[in-house]
Amino acid sequence: MTRPRLSALALMAMCLGMASLARTTQAAPPKPVATDSQGIQKMNFGKLADGTPIELYTLTNGKITAKITTYGGIVTELHTPDRDGKTADIVLGFDSLEGYLAGHPYFGAITGRFANRIAKGKFSIDGKEYSLAVNNGPNSLHGGLKGFDKQVWKAEETTVDGSPALKLSRISPDGEEGYPGNLSVTVTYSITPENALKIDYTATTDKPTVLNLTNHSYFNLSGPASGTILDHELTLAADQYTLVDENFIPTGKLGSVTGTPVDFTKAKAIGAHIGQIAGEPGGYDHNFVVRGAEAGSKKPIFTAKVKDPKSGRTMTVLTTEPGVQFYTGNFLDGTVKGKGGVVYKKNQAFCLETQHYPDSPNHADFPTTRLNPGQTYTQTTVYQFGVE
What are the residue numbers of the active site?
216, 353
DSSP letters for 256-323? E-TTSTT--SS-EETTSSGGG--SSS-S-EEEEE-TT--TT--S-EEEEEEE-TTT-EEEEEEESSSE
CA-based nearest residue to 352, from 312, 299, 296, 303: 303
Phi-psi domain of 184 (left: phi exceeds 0; alpha: psi -120 through 50; beta: other): beta
Q: What amino acid is encoded at 196 in this protein?
A: A
Kindly compute the dihedral angle of the four CA atoms of residues 41, 42, 45, 51, in this order, to the nearest 10 degrees.
180
* Alpha carbon distance, N-terminus to C-terminus of the chain: 28
Q: What amino acid is encoded at 70 in this protein?
A: T
Q: Which DSSP state fits 370?
A: E
Cα within 13 Å of Cα(355), Cβ side: 32
CA-based nearest residue to 188, from 173, 198, 174, 196: 198
CB 35 within 8 A of CB 60: yes
CA-based nearest residue to 6, from 143, 149, 107: 107
Alpha carbon separation from 24 to 43, 89, 102 (Å, rounded): 17, 26, 10
212/112 Cα distance (integer angstroms) = 6
190/62 Cα distance (integer angstroms) = 13
377/81 Cα distance (integer angstroms) = 34
48/101 Cα distance (integer angstroms) = 9
